[in-house]
Structure formats: C-alpha cells, structure tokens
Structure 1
C-alpha cells in the first residue's frame, strides 16, 4: 500500500499512527505544514524504512508563516521531498493570494537550486495558478498534485506539463471525482489518504486505508486489482529512482 500524502504529526497519537503504518507495511509520505514542524515529524519516522518526511509550508498558513522561508531553505538540502506546498483559492484564503504565490514561487526557486525535489502540491480552486507557477519553474522537480479537484481540462493541462497525481478515497464519492480518476495518466498516479483531515464515517483516514483506492482505480480504469497494485508500486519505484537520497546532516530519516 502507498499513502503518498498524510499528516502523521497531526493525528491525536502520532506514534500510534506510525506504528500502524509500519505494521501494515504502507509506504508513506509524511507531509508537514510548517518548516518548524519538520524536525519533530522526521523524528517520528526514524528507523522506519517505508516512511519519508516532506518539508512543507502549507498555503493556508503562508500568511502567518512566510517568515519561516529562511528555515525552509536551510532544511531543504536534508530531504528530497517537499510538501505540503502550493496555492489555495477557497474563499477563506483568497485574500492571502499574493503572499501564497510569493511563498510558493520561493519554494519552487529553492527546489530548483537544489537540483529538484519531489513536490506534493495543494491546488484547491487554484489549478491554473499552480500550473502557471510550475511552468515558470521547470527545474523545481517532480510535481505531484495531491487530491486534485480541478476540471478535466485542467487535469489534461497538468498531464501535458508532466505532473503526477496522488488520489484518495474521498475522490470516489462524487461524479466529478470519479471522472477525474478515469482521466489520470496511469503511469503517474499514486494513492493517498490526506489523513487525519480526510475522514470516513467520522473517523480520520489512516495510511492503511489507502489500499481501498486499488479497487476504486481498478473500476475507473477497467483493470484487475492486482494489475493496478503492480502499476502503483511500479510508479512509486520509478519516482523513487528519479533522484538520489540526500545524506541528512541531522542523522534523521528523510
């Protein structure tokens, strides 16, 4: 199983969330929302070979945490994963669009200077704006649009720009989400939960819940579940091989 976008540090009991993921043998990308959270979140995954921790500055926090960009830059050489970053165009955060864009552009510039990173990107109601930024920074790395909820036309544009996609169970609950699943480039798809923010029946989704997406994608793609699982694992391996692991100065898992 693969959960390529999960907030392990934000579960009520982060240690228990890590133990469950390890026991279920889930490959996890543990994203962070602020640079200050990265050290502690990385420590959660110490010794866990299937968990990687991404360095993030969430767009919904950009107006409050933009002064942490210097810390972000200092930490960036220690990990090849960046996330959660991006833009958020929902009504509650539209007023902060300028600072969001400034932060996101800075993150892309820093990533390009470091030779590129794997980027887990938030693009809610800001699909075209995110794609415009990515086009201006082609050396930033491999963009993975997490929980993409734009239009089919935007998805096709993102595909043309080389984007990947991480998809989770809540996308299967609407006709528009299922339509997007059918259009995904199958060689650039990974699964996710976005737990603990995403919930099922009032319970936060956990990394081990990402496995339900195999059946959903098998239906969307008209494939056998085993073939879908093999495809997803192959995608993860190809992404993992795309750039070497850094050597963390701190000795913590990246």
Structure 2
C-alpha cells in the first residue's frame, strides 16, 4: 500500500467522496490535524476506514489563537499513535508567536518522548534550525519516528536531520523548485516518504486521482535519483505505518 503521508483530509471540500472511494484503491492516508478538537471530529468521521490514520495535531500557526487547546492535547496524546501537524513556523505572519511556539513544541515532544511509539509529522517553515535543535535536545533513543513534512531547510540541516533519524515527506511542489530538487537528490532513499499536503499543495477529487498523483511523484523522484524509488518507498511506509 502506498501512503499519502501528510494530507489535511478534513479540510477537503470533497472529503466524503474521497473516503468512500478509498476502499477501491490500494492507498492509505495519514490525515493530519490542526487542533485537538479537529482530531476528535476526524476520529468520529473516519471510524472504521482502515485506509485512513488520523493524527492528533496542534498546528504552530494556531498557537496563541485560542484554538490551541493544550489541555485537550495533553489528555489525548497518550492514546494517539500518530501526531501531527505540529512544529514551528517563523514566517512573517507567525513570527510574533515564536517563543510561545517553541514552548508548545517542546512540551509536545517531551510528551511524545515520555509516551514512546509515536509517528510525528513536523512543520518547520523558516524554522528548521530550531526544530532540529529541539529534536536533538529532547529525542532519546529510537522510540519515536519523526517526519519532516515539506522540508525547506539547507543541505547541512538536512544532513543533521538524517543523523537524527528523521524521514522526509516530499510533495509535488518540492519537485518544481531548484532547491527542492537539490534536496531530493541528497535524501537517502530509505528516508523518503511522499505526501500531497492537500488541499494546500494541490487537490484531488477521489482516491483514483490521489493514486495517480502519488504514482507520478514516485516516477519523478525515481528519475531525479536514478533509482526505482517504489521498492524503497514501500519498505519505508511499511516501517512507518505498520500499526
């Protein structure tokens, strides 16, 4: 089974038809959330849909907004295998909450490390250095798997992330920029996952369209790296999503 490793399924206009069509295709979705309350709604919506894994999120862009229900996040985290979207965002629209974001992200990672057995999808826009610094400080052993979603850091930062054991989820927009292609060249095949980040990086109407998007990504990344990515990808996804 091939996975969309980072998708905001609950924000898709055609969410219901996508979920209904999933059973016909051999694909899965990690449906990341933005708030703890959104997680509860998604669990209810996707209950019994074996192709969808729901993640508990607290998006950095919402820190300090009133939607960042920390008490509910803390209550739910122990029962959740998948965590995301979490992380840091130091772009101009969100830099004002930088210190609050850091404090929240550190608390999230501490909880994840205490619990163990978590798959964590991390946002790191204009904040890769700080994300990696916090990961390096708080990560202990190999109890959790950390995925850097839509990574836009430097090649040196990418090497640091590899040394920390991180995976990288690549989306179609990364295949359209010189910096994205340069990073893809350097990411080891055994650390690559693929994502759509829909609806932010593109949209699809049904599971068949999603499958075509994911297959196109596999073909394009294989061409960039000069290897058959699919055999690596299947192994990577079995490692990350075997739950």
Please, what TM-score do these two structures have when normalized by structure 1? Answer: 0.87
Which residue of the partner structure matches residue 223 of structure 1? 227
Which residue of the partner structure matches residue 68 of structure 1? 69
Q: CA deviation at 1:204?
A: 8.2
Map Cα deviations across residues 15-57 of structure 1 (whole Å, 9 max, x no partner).
1222233333212100000001111112232222221000000
CA distance, structure 1, for counterparts of residue 75 and residue 3 of structure 2: 29
Contact 2:88 2:131 in 1 (8 A): yes
Which residue of the partner structure matches residue 154 of structure 1? 157
Which residue of the partner structure matches residue 10 of structure 2? 9
Q: CA deviation at 1:184?
A: 0.7
The structure-2 alpha-carbon separation of the partners of 1:230 and 1:6, relative to structure 1 and needing over 3 Å to count, comes to: same
The structure-2 alpha-carbon separation of the partners of 1:18 and 1:207, relative to structure 1 and needing over 3 Å to count, comes to: same
Which residue of the partner structure matches residue 48 of structure 1? 49
Map Cα deviations across residues 62-92 of structure 1 (whole Å, 9 max, x no partner).
1214751110111112221100000001111
1:10-49 equivalences in 2 (<5 Å): 10-49=11-50
CA distance, structure 2, for counterparts of residue 219 and residue 67 of structure 1: 41
Paired residue secondary structure (2:193): strand
Structure 2 unaligned blocks of 5 or more? none
Which residue of the partner structure matches residue 175 of structure 1? 178
CA distance, structure 2, for counterparts of residue 141 and residue 65 of structure 1: 29
Contact 1:32 1:55 in 2 (8 A): yes
Contact 1:33 1:84 in 2 (8 A): yes
Flag as ranges the 4+ runs of structure 1 deviating above 6 A. Answer: 203-206
CA distance, structure 2, for counterparts of residue 85 and residue 42 of structure 1: 18
Q: CA deviation at 1:193?
A: 0.3
Contact 1:34 1:65 in 2 (8 A): no
Map Cα deviations across residues 158-212 of structure 1 (whole Å, 9 max, x no partner).
1111111111111110111111111112111111000011127xx7897432222
Paired residues in the alignment total 237
Structure 1 unaligned blocks of 5 or more? 246-254
Which residue of the partner structure matches residue 190 of structure 2? 187
Contact 2:60 2:87 in 1 (8 A): yes
The structure-2 alpha-carbon separation of the partners of 1:220 and 1:67, relative to structure 1 and needing over 3 Å to count, comes to: closer
1:133-152 equivalences in 2 (<5 Å): 133-139=134-140, 141-152=144-155
Report whether the alignment pairs 1:196 with 2:182. no
Which residue of the partner structure matches residue 216 of structure 2? 212
Please, what TM-score do these two structures have when normalized by structure 2? Answer: 0.91
RMSD (CA atoms): 1.9
Which residue of the partner structure matches residue 131 of structure 2? 130
CA distance, structure 2, for counterparts of residue 151 and residue 29 of structure 1: 26
CA distance, structure 2, for counterparts of residue 189 and residue 88 of structure 1: 22
Q: CA deviation at 1:13?
A: 2.7
